[in-house]
Amino acid sequence: MLIRSDESGWNHKAGSEITPQRVYQDRRAWMRGVASGAAGAALALWAGRDARAQMQTPRPGKLAALAAVPSKVPGAMTMERLTTYQDASTYNNFYEFGTDKSDPLKYSTRFQTTPWSLSVEGLVKQTRTFAIEDLLKLGAQEERIYRLRCVEGWSMVIPWIGYSLSELLRRVEPLGSARFVEFVTAVDSKTMPNVDSTVLEWPYVEGLRLDEAMHPLTLLSFGMYGEILPKQNGAPVRLVVPWKYGFKSSKSLVKIRLTEEQPRTSWVKSAPREYGFFSNVNPNVDHPRWSQATERRIGEDGLFAKKRKTLMFNGYESQVASMYAGMDLRKFY
């Protein structure tokens, strides 16, 4: 059963923590003026961060079923400094709510995450539909601190809560003919203001090869920072695949389908030259429009902050590289 921190399910911020709107608007106007000058791009980033710091981020609260222990899966815990909750919950990609980083928080308030169910179907011995309450208890909830590297060139370090997707997949008993897994996410034009747009084909669909989906690092996640996932981060259940670019980590999952054919993913359909099916983080293979060699860690984006070198497979090489032995990663990007 879902137990939340107050009746509405939300922890509201104290009024004193919130900058009055007028002060915030004045500051924005000043920053826009400054940002049009020489160091424009860097200042705009800085201004964006300042604006995000002013946003109210209601926290969805704790849940008894999320009581989590640190993971023992090799590679699942990094000692790097965590991204703040504020940054992780205000700088998001969730195109169903808009393409600006602040849109998912702003425009997801009407999106309903209860009741929720997830079906697992296709090439499995047992097709099953799980209510979110049952799904939460299907595997032992763990905390994993993962780096997430976005294809756009930024990264975060987030403590996720969940269990390996393999726990779920083995319950449905994949058939021998299953080679891929397709992930289908929620689409609701009444509560998702951007699904009328043609920016992507909806629902948002992603995919993995079956061995990637069964890899212990592939996480089915229900929470972050010890609490329920906020809507903008993919409530009530999402995927986190830490060695792949962030767009493979599908949010608000409603259906998982095992297939023989490679799934046609939303990004591959929209721009096949730019986004491949594999999308493993790879500093040696540039995106056609920009380099992937370095990244900006969110929270280190001060005016003179240095970029970090992007690591092969986002630093998870020793855990995952063997799955791609003999593959030309330029061809299979």
Restricting to residues 118-137, name those near ligand MTE by CB under 6 A: none
Measure the CA–CA gap between 32 and 40, rounded to whole angstroms: 9
User: How many angstroms from the chain centroid is the CA of residue 208?
Assistant: 15
The CB-of-157 to ligand MTE minimum distance in angstroms stands at 11
Residues 77-116, mask of contacts with ligand MTE (x by CB under 6 A): ---------------xxxxx--------------------
Q: Shortest gap between Cβ of 155 and ligand MTE (angstroms)?
A: 10
Tokens of 256: 């998982």
Smallest gap from Cβ 259 to ligand MTE, in A, equals 19
Q: Segment contacting ligand MTE (CB under 6 A): 124-132, 244-252, 302-310, 325-333?
A: 244-252
> If residue 43 lies in a helix (H) or strand (E), which one and from where to where?
helix 40-54
Instruction: State the burial class of residue 184 (Cβ atoms within 10 Å of its Cβ: 0-12, 13-18, 19+).
Output: buried
Shortest separation between residue 28's beta carbon and ligand MTE, angstroms: 22
Strand partners, 156: 148
User: What is the smallest separation between the CB atom of 197 and ligand MTE, expressed in angstroms?
Assistant: 11
**Least spacing, CB of residue 11 vs ligand MTE, in Å:** 19
The beta strand positions in 41-141, using DSSP E, are: 69-70, 117-122, 128-131
Q: Cis ω on the peptide bond leading into residue 216 (within 30° of 0)?
A: no
CB of 248 to ligand MTE, least distance (A): 7
Distance CA 232, CA 253 (A): 13
In the list 215, 231, 251, 255, the residue contacting ligand MTE (rule: CB under 6 A) is 251
Query: Of 165-224, which residues contact ligand MTE (CB under 6 A)?
Result: 185, 204
Task: Compute the least distance from the CB of residue 93 to ligand MTE, in Å.
Answer: 4
Minimal CB distance to ligand MTE: which residue? 246
In DSSP notation, 245-302 reads -GGGS--SEEEEEEESSPP--HHHHH-TTT--SS-B--TTS-BTTB--SEEEETT--S
- Asked whether the beta carbons of 308 and 294 are under 8 A apart, the reply is yes
Q: Which of 247, 277, 278, 324 binds ligand MTE (CB under 6 A)?
A: 247
**At a CB cut-off of 8 Å and minimum separation 6, what does 10 contact?**
4, 58, 59, 60, 61
Residues 140-159 vs ligand MTE: string with x where CB under 6 A?
--------x-x---------
Q: Is 319 in the site for ligand MTE (CB under 6 A)?
A: no
Binding of ligand MTE by 250 (CB under 6 A)? yes
User: Should residue 282 be labelled a site residue for ligand MTE when binding is judged by CB under 6 A?
Assistant: no
Total residues interacting with ligand MTE, rule: CB under 6 A: 16
Q: Who contacts 71 (Cβ-Cβ below 8 Å, separation ≥6)?
A: 77, 142, 143, 144
| 252 touching ligand MTE, by CB under 6 A | yes
Q: Residue numbers of the site for ligand MTE (CB under 6 A)?
A: 92-96, 148, 150, 185, 204, 233, 246-247, 249-252
